[in-house]
Amino acid sequence: MTDHRSLAARFGTPLYVYDLDDVAAAHGALRAALPDPCELFYAFKANPHPDVARALREGAGRACGAEISSTGELAAARAAGYPTSSCLYTGPGKTRAELAEAVAGGVRLFSAESETDLRRIGAAADGRQVVVDCLLRVNSPASASATGLRMTGVPSRFGIDAETLPDALPRLLDVPGTRVIGAHFFPLSNAEDEQSLVDEFRRTVEVAARLRDDAGLPLRFLDLGGGFAAPYGVPGERPAYPKLRAELEDALDLHLPGWREGRPRLAFESGRHLVGGSGSLVAEVLDVKHSRGQVFVVLDAGINAFGGLSGLGRLLPASVRPVGGGRGSVVATLTGPLCTPGDLLGRDLTLPDLAVGDVVAIPNAGAYGLTASLVRFLGREAPAEVVVRGDTVVSVSRLDHRREYAVTGPSTLGGAQP
């Protein structure tokens, strides 16, 4: 087990610790749970740290590709050694400037969320005199599962409504600079159980085959998305999926019988499941305050270091564990150090009976941790990030955001110097 206390003593707190052995184990287990052959894209939004991402490019015998949604994530993928040919560029609000940069940088596979998005992709490709491959992201007409974060079967900015696709398809297949080669689905995130995931994937395969057969959608490439779960900020193990492979193979054999020979190429995506369990956020107790019958435990890590994605419905951590043992328990509110009442990590939690100076760890913080948080709020230094493999420290780094001025002196609104 990683010695968080010694790492905190060496590098200070707050401190993120990522275990590459855990990343490799998660990668291998997910590969084994998926049909073969298939491709697996790592969702960089989960954790763009180059050492973490590099482990997924190198591990489990078959490298992950990179699912990216910005030129910043493209830069992170390159820093981790991913070739641009392995990148899938996604997202509902791609700008002309970032598309031009991505195409110029060699990205050749995009997911188009709408006709407007597809034409913008095509314009960027046409401007470089190349043709790029595109998947049409589809918003399925219904969901097979009621669990997890719903991303299909509802009004959404993500994807093209499946019922509108037959009428739109002739236009979509004739956009200069693009070649539509398949479909991209992402029906749910963080499925609550294996059966929900199985049902959603089976439903998606059926919809994809129907769009191919009835609407004429090209289907040389099918990205079924993800939904693979992991605990967030609480103790627990990432789920196993012992039935998934066989159930998916049955559905694919039924609806897309050429898939074993690569017709279509099959792909999945995962972020939190691959890296969530690898990370812990280590913090020091700065204060334990008693106020009008309530206890407040103040850590040196708050919403600037963890919990910035509460808008996605994630629960705040239900527990922290002391590094090196505990002394009973107490019901308390867990807060960070920021000068705002919004800096809360949880109310009325059953916590260890902590004292000032104790070191604690929030588990399962390897996904949607530092870069998904309010890192620059109130100007505090970002936590250090330590990457380990076994007993070896692989790297120690810290994000450093600096302001860069485009104009260094007075100028008129039109841009000319006075």
pLDDT for 206-239, tens place per residue? 999 999 999 999 999 999 999 999 998 989 999 9
What's the pLDDT score for residue 252?
Answer: 98
Whether residue 38 lies in the annotated active site: no
* Residues paired with 199 in a beta bridge: none
What is the Cα–Cα distance from 298 to 313, expressed in whole angstroms?
24
The b/e string for 57-73 (b: 16+ C-beta within 10 A; e otherwise) is: bebbeebbbbbbbbbeb
- Tens digits of per-residue pLDDT, 282-324? 999 999 999 999 999 999 999 999 976 654 445 566 668 888 6
In the chain, the domains with their CATH numbers are 34-270 (3.20.20.10), 279-399 (2.40.37.10)
Query: 38, 64, 87, 339: which one is catalytic?
Result: 339
* Torsion angles phi and psi, residue 226, rounded to 5: -140, -125
- The per-residue pLDDT of the chain, averaged, comes to 90
What's the pLDDT score for residue 311?
Answer: 44
Nearest-CA neighbor of 300 among 8, 100, 1? 8
Structure tokens that stand for 113 in this block? 């969320």
What's the pLDDT score for residue 334?
Answer: 92
Helix (H) or strand (E) holding 361: strand 359-362
* Residues paired with 328 in a beta bridge: none
Q: Which residue has the tokens 């409504």?
A: 161
Question: 178-184 and 132-139: which strand pairing?
Answer: parallel
Residues of the chain with pLDDT under 70: 1, 59-61, 142-156, 308-319, 324-326, 413-418
Specify the pTM: 0.93
